[in-house]
Chains A and B, each alone.
Chain A
Amino acid sequence: MKISQKDVEHVARLARLTVAPEELEALTGQMDAILGYVDKLNELDTEGIEAMAHAVPMSNAFREDELKPAIGIERALQNAPVAGDECFTVPKVIE
């Protein structure tokens, strides 16, 4: 196994996912299998081949620095679970 239960817990925490203890073992096995599958790619000889950053062989899609109308405060906040004073309202953030 390349993936430990600790790795799964760590990734879950980073992704803000709650994983029940009884799921942990199964998930660890599944993640390990996925990575094992992807690991097959390492069998290829990639010596001297430049790393690819994008699947499309294109570059430089730009826009001009020109103003476009905003969508408006009301629409911006339309999907917010809670809003008030023209802002999204979130649980208190303590630094």
Chain B
Amino acid sequence: MNSRYEVVIGLEVHVQLTTKTKIFCGCSIEFGQSPNSQTCPVCLGLPGALPVLNQQVVEDAIKAGLATNCQIAPHSIFARKNYFYPDLPKGYQISQFELPICEHGWMDIETEELGKKRVGITRIHMEEDAGKLLHNESNSSSVDLNRACTPLLEVVSEPDMRSSEEAIAYLKQLHQIVVYLGICDGNLDEGSFRCDANVSIRPWGQKELGTRAELKNLNSFRFIKQAIEYEVERQIDVIEDGGEVVQETRLFDPDAGVSRSMRSKEEAHDYRYFPDPDLLPLQVSADWVERVRSVLPELPLVKLQRYQDEMDLPAYDAGVLSAERPVAEYFEGLVALYNNPKVCSNWVMGEVLGALKEKNLEIIDCPVSPELLAGVLQRIDDKTISGKIAKTVFEEIWQSGKNADQVIEEKGLKQVSDSGAIEAIVDEVIAANPGPVAEYHAGKEKLMGFFVGQVMKASKGKANPGMANQLLKKKLAG
């Protein structure tokens, strides 16, 4: 980033909720259905149709507000935002303007470049989405109103971010939180989490904000970063050439890596908001807020800290295990059955996530449940199998769905702890390796690892490694 200017970024994120139905009518919000098949008089904006608020949307908004340290307004109202566009059937969008449901929140983010930072959240409000415009080859456009009236939360940050890295850190954390809360599927490709960025620059030390440009159509973290960096360079060029940045909306084109002005939207900024007479004011009681608070899941940052403090896990492990709620739930399920967090962490991060990645599966579809995996770990503890054989057992369980005991029994994987049997193998190994034995006697004690390896190999991994070690030491000394 240019050292002569400070970059100032504020973000507006549209979070599409995972309710079954739309915000003001009972139509489905399922993605990818035939155009206009999920519509009714309310979302088509037909005269006389009355919107009725989906209570789940309010619950979800309260959850998002609590998870981002907002104050939940006891009294909030819906407003009409008036403008004309072909994807907006009523000629206004129902949104919240004055008195949104959540205000004055914050989130702590961290970047390598600038360290820890608290980003203010100005407000979170509920609103309906517009329909979708399909651009044809021909001289017309097509309108699909399935998406019209889909419930959205708009999360507006303070202009607190100072680099594209901070913007991305904020977005990733917000994304993680709404997915954790189960209120958004987080699918960027399908538009479930969309971002507009307000970007301006100012000379270092200047208090007033520079004129900002609003960047739209940012639907991947990579594009957001590109778009912000492009915009910063563009504004620096404008100013250094003696020009002035104009306040405008710009559309980022990821293919070309550039943005262009959307002059068409400029005049529309007079939205003439007023309270929607079709919708009654919303009252959220303190009881309601507390009820929602009591069912909030533990949030990723809290888990991250708890895994380190209470389970003594390294920061890296805690980060991997807490990043996604299903992984955290699998891990915690395992720890509940096998109380050694570090061992559990090693297995989840190693075998479980590795195998899932290889097979391109999600953890909720993992064939080895925490119960089945705990069974394997217990057999290591009671020395029925070695840690190495345990990996074979894990793979067998993955394939067959049988439990550890069944697999160990059927495949004959039980560890050999019979000293007579191991002693015979030890004798064989010593007899077969006169060279290493001589070197060992000459002081190269590191070769013990080699001998143990040979014994394990000869026993197909089933010899108890501790006993093999002991017997080898005794025999080689004698």
Contacts and interface: CB of A to CB of B under 8 A. Distances in A.
Interface of A: 10, 13-14, 16, 53-56, 58-68, 70-73, 76-77, 79, 82, 84-95
Interface in B274-297: 275, 277, 279-283
A72 to B, nearest CB: 7
A95 B264 contact: yes
Nearest to A85: B142
Interface string B105-144: 0000000000000000000000000000111001111111
Nearest to B56: A65
A68 B26 contact: yes
Given A89-B140, A95-B251, A65 B21 contact: yes
Contacts of A87: 35-36, 134, 142-144
Given A65-B54, A71-B40, A86-B35, A91 B27 contact: no
A76 B44 contact: yes
A66 B77 CA distance: 23
A88 B195 CA distance: 27
B281 A53 contact: yes
A16 B84 contact: yes
Contacts of B280: 54, 56, 58-61
Contact of B141 (A14, A62, A77, A93): A93
12 contacts: A53-B77, A53-B275, A54-B277, A56-B280, A63-B52, A65-B55, A67-B28, A68-B27, A73-B34, A90-B142, A91-B139, A93-B86
B54 A86 contact: no
Given A61-B52, A66-B20, A90 B283 contact: no
A63 B52 CA distance: 6
Contact of B281 (A59, A84, A88, A95): A59
A60 B283 contact: yes
Nearest to A77: B36
Contacts of B27: 67-68, 70
Contacts, number: 128
A14 B279 CA distance: 24
A53 B77 CA distance: 7
B264 A55 contact: no
A49 to B, nearest CB: 15
A67 B21 contact: yes
B408 to A, nearest CB: 48
B9 to A, nearest CB: 23
Instruction: Rank and list the top 4 A-B pairs by shortest CB-CB distance, nearest first.
Output: A68-B26, A87-B142, A65-B56, A62-B55
B346 interface: no
Contacts of A76: 36, 39, 44, 145
B55 A64 contact: yes
Contact of A93 (B46, B133, B282): B133
Contacts of A59: 280-283
B37 A54 contact: no
Contacts of B448: none
B267 A13 contact: yes
A16 B40 CA distance: 26
A53 to B, nearest CB: 4
B265 to A, nearest CB: 9
Contacts of B34: 73, 86
A89 B35 contact: no
Nearest to A79: B46
Given A63-B26, A94-B264, A54 B40 contact: no
Given A87-B134, A88-B145, 5 more contacts: A65-B57, A68-B21, A71-B40, A86-B34, A91-B141
A60 B35 CA distance: 32
Nearest to A82: B140
